[in-house]
A and B are shown apart, each in its own frame.
Chain A
Amino acid sequence: MTTMDTLEKPFELGFTYTRSTGPVIGHFLGALAEHRILGVRGSDGRVLVPPPEFDPVTAAPLDEWVELATEGVVLSWCWVAQPRASHPLQEAFAWIMVQLDGADVPMIHCLRAPAMSAVRSGARVRACWVAEPVGRITDLCCFELVEGDKA
């Protein structure tokens, strides 16, 4: 009797959001399309990236742009041995808190690395870019280790 076999089926539910970026993130994304990473200077002098639209201390609008290096240092990291479909890389990779040269705060991104043993806090990394940028954070597709770095 097959009538008691439970029915099952895969489903996909999609929320097709279009988001407005605002003047600050929109400027940041536009620069990414040119392989440039921009931060803003906060009221306390710190350079913040990704750039917040308003100062985290005074809540005043921020508009002093600072171009950062596309290299930086890993402050902390987490290895993803088995990436899922929604992850930015489909081979094993590391989430990293990377502080770009010229910035005073780290941001989160992903690091392509040959093995977990190759990753360490303090490692130098550089940005990798997609071939056809469209003005999204994923234009900066990942970071990779700077070879020969033994700092």
Chain B
Amino acid sequence: MSEDVAVMQAPVYLQYHFTAGRAPTRFLRRLKEGVLSGQRCPRCSQVYIPPRGSCPACGVATEEEVILSDKGTVQSFTIVHIPIPGNPIDPPYVVANIVPDGANISFIHLLSECDNREVRIGQRVEAVWRPREEWTWAMENILYFRPLDEPDVAVERIGTLPVTGLEG
């Protein structure tokens, strides 16, 4: 009599070819040089990172490039306790939405060199970059963000500050 099969491997692999487009290409080339950049909407003046070449609110093309700081503010965060197969990072670790100074929207990155219990919305952070010789066209050039010894940003000001996060 045959032996029943209890489990089976059923992997799904999606292969695709990614073309960055003009605006993301410009962003990625800056990133390879260790610089974060975005684009400003000519109508509403919002600065987007990563730039997609248009403003999602106004629906107009964006051209003006804006060089951004690698310092920013925590807009929201979560602490991951569950290990994910294939993920090399040991839990618990902090994943945060970070608004870089000079931009109006956040991107997701890791937050480390911190006490997880003290991570908070409005916290000031800065990028920790990989060694320059490892830089490529990827956000992984930044290992993670770490806390800055600066006053918190009030919630209603996050993503609205003009340059450094502390002015105005």
| A15 touching B6, Cβ below 8 Å | no
Q: Which candidate, A6-14, A51-59, A75-83, A88-96, is the interface stretch facing chain B? A: A6-14
In-complex Cβ contact of B8 among A4, A14, A15, A136 (8 A) = A136
Query: How many A residues touch the partner, as a band?
Result: 20 to 34
Of B4, B10, B15, B28, most buried by chain A (CB within 10 Å of CB) is B4
| B86 touching A16, Cβ below 8 Å | yes
| B14 touching A12, Cβ below 8 Å | yes
- Provide the bound-state CA to CA distance between A17 and B4, in Å: 19
Which residues B9-25 have CB closer than 8 A to chain A? 9-22, 24-25
The chain B residue with its CB closest to the CB of A23 is B4
**B19 contacts across to A, CB distance below 8 A:** 6-8
| B4 touching A20, Cβ below 8 Å | no
- Provide the bound-state CA to CA distance between A32 and B14, in Å: 28
Which residues A24-57 have CB closer than 8 A to chain B? 25-27, 29-31, 33-34, 36
- Provide the bound-state CA to CA distance between A11 and B135, in Å: 19
The chain B residue with its CB closest to the CB of A19 is B10
**B85 contacts across to A, CB distance below 8 A:** 16
| B14 touching A17, Cβ below 8 Å | no
**B15 contacts across to A, CB distance below 8 A:** 10-12
| A14 touching B11, Cβ below 8 Å | yes
In-complex Cβ contact of B22 among A4, A13, A18, A135 (8 A) = A4
| A21 touching B13, Cβ below 8 Å | no
| A7 touching B28, Cβ below 8 Å | yes
- Provide the bound-state CA to CA distance between A21 and B137, in Å: 42
**B87 contacts across to A, CB distance below 8 A:** none
Closest 8 A-B residue pairs measured CB to CB?
A29-B5, A30-B2, A135-B5, A26-B4, A7-B20, A8-B19, A13-B14, A15-B12
Interface residues of A (CB under 8 A from B): 3-21, 23, 25-27, 29-31, 33-34, 36, 135-136
Please list 28 pairs of residues, one from A and one from B, whose beta carbons are closer than 8 Å in the complex, sorted by A's number: A3-B29, A4-B25, A6-B25, A7-B25, A8-B19, A10-B15, A10-B16, A10-B17, A10-B18, A11-B16, A11-B17, A11-B18, A12-B13, A12-B15, A13-B14, A14-B14, A15-B14, A18-B7, A18-B8, A18-B10, A20-B6, A21-B6, A21-B7, A21-B8, A26-B5, A30-B4, A34-B2, A135-B3
